[in-house]
Structure 1
Amino acid sequence: MDIEVYKGFETEDLIAPAHVPAAVVRAAVADARSPVPAGVHRSVALAVARGSEKTARLRLERLARVVMSTGQVDSPEAAWAADWGELPSAAYESLDRSIGTTWGAASTRNAMRDSVRAVVRACRDTGLMTHDAATAALSALRPEQIGRDEEKQARGHLSTETVTAAFVAMATDESPTARRDAALIALLVGAGLRREEAAALDLADLDAARETLVVTGKGAVVRSVPLAPGVRRAVSAWLDMRGEDDGPLLTPMSKTVPRVAETGRRLSVNAVAAAVKRRFAGEDEAVRPHDLRRTFVGDLLDAGADLSSVSKIVGHTSPSTTAGYDRRGIEARRAAVERLSVPFV
């Protein structure tokens, strides 16, 4: 990719380029993480050297789309092969203008900026870019402040009536699958687990009293999650049927018995999503596992739990992330202010 392509291109009426084919992105991630990348420049490879496979794919795909949005480059490979440490600050300013005129949603624009900023930070941290040059580039790609959309904040949260109806339906179904699904739903909506975390649970992660779970979250960070009484009952009911053999806590099912003793197989992430969709099939929109996690956070905040504690329970590295799940609106904030006593006379 020639540095000159960034100089003087027009930023009006730009159209967001199509998504890069998944197979192409996967191949690029594999190349970037190989000992000697063939087509991905070191400046880009460093930005995806750590973290999950999913994060690496998103970062490379977005980086390519940002560059292609300029209209000067038509292949993702060109974006990945560039030496980003050599680009002048004017290039990053031009990229920011392109992002601003190509994508309509501020959250999407920030995600695109973040892909470029990750490369800049990697270049700075490894000496491929001077500190001053990196500071200028990062300043050019400063994220936008996104205002609180209270209607949007309320989406993805399930009502108490909806959750109760799902548990009642599972209680009337005496099959092993229903008991397992009830335990799964309880862990998602009553402990705030991510679907990957639920699928990865082993029986050994549950303490002897069945009151606390040891959960391994993003970045292999381990946290202790206390279980509410209803969650403990759901898990115990499942274990009464599953048995106490070591292995995955949640297992695939045969028609009559869980297959833990024979194979030690665990429930897949996709199976978790399918179970949630099945148990909430009557809703207008498909319910996802993350909706149950959002509901858990919202319920805790509605109950008066402090943001920091909730953040630790669900494994967020920053309370600001947890705040994005807060569904309380202006009325809750007004009520909070009304409780203040100001000694004006």
Structure 2
Amino acid sequence: MITEESIQQFSKNCENIFTQIRRDVIGQQEVVEGTVIAMIAGGNVLLEGVPGVGKTRLVRTLGRVFDMPFSRIQFTPDLMPADVTGTNIIVKGEDGNSQFQFQPGPIFSNIVLADEINRATPKTQSALLEAMQEHTVTVMGVSRKMKEPFFVLATQNPIEQDGTYPLPEAQMDRFMFNLIVPNPGLDELMAIVNMTQKTMAEVAEPVCSGEELLKMRETANQVPVAEEVMRYAMTLCSATHPNSDCASEAAKKYVRLGASPRAGQALISAAKVKALMNGRFNVAYSDVNALAAPVLRHRMKLNFEAIADRVAPDAIVKMIVEEVGTRFGLNPKKEEAAAKAESKKGLFSGKKA
């Protein structure tokens, strides 16, 4: 049962986490909050952005802030699955006889940075599938459990296509969030340059252990969700399917394949964490709306008409949120304003909610 003590500890841990991240990462509030929300909720994150916007630096910072083993895998076209999962090697035993011994790969860590994941071949990309979903790795018929908590934080450049391999739908669906890392604004760019002129060293310190993170997840899981809010969230997911009873007009026109049930699970799990971060002990419509884009944008397969009309996934998600909100009698502008107001006073901004 959720207690006042556990809620206070949750808030304290979040505040410490964001304080340390701010020491190394300037701006990118939505991206940082989204990544931390996903980690607390137990999900994987795909960070998309052009080179130089701080994707890898953010993940490295998280690797230090969370006091857990961290490993980095630089994905390249010649990377093999065994380079990720590990393999059996022949060693000599004490009796002088040769025997097989498993040599764990870099995937056996708590936080795994899959850098430029779309540069590896589909064969190597698939080496992550089992670990991302079941938290196990099978090599030579033997399954091994991952350390908990376990996360894959992947980065990719959406612009450059030469020498890259698009992630398959099955793998995209295993990412709780797809976060778009934008270019910094003018003030942020000035702050970044000023900071890096003094030192390139990353100074964030560990403030949250794996055990504490699991306790935070347990606390968030106990946050109640009203039946009407749950129905609203599930309707959003169903509305992405053009042939469902809940299909939105945007989905009928632009979507070929909608979001899977994992989207509903991700939306509710993440909304619980966001509610606690905003100082509330129940999930609100604004929590669901704020997380709809990162949960749904990579789970929809657009049709030719959407591509021809150059309609972005985020635009479709926005249309779906507005249409479903109208069905539930919500005021889209009011809900959007509420979400923005809570975001501005969030923990990462340095202001307590």
Whichever structure has more strand as a proportion of its residues is 2
TM bracket (short chain): under 0.3
Q: Larger RCO: Structure 1 or Structure 2 (Cα < 8 Å, ≥ 6 residues apart)?
A: 2
Give TM-score, length-normalised by structure 2. Answer: 0.25
Whichever structure has more helix as a proportion of its residues is 1
Give TM-score, length-normalised by structure 1. Answer: 0.26
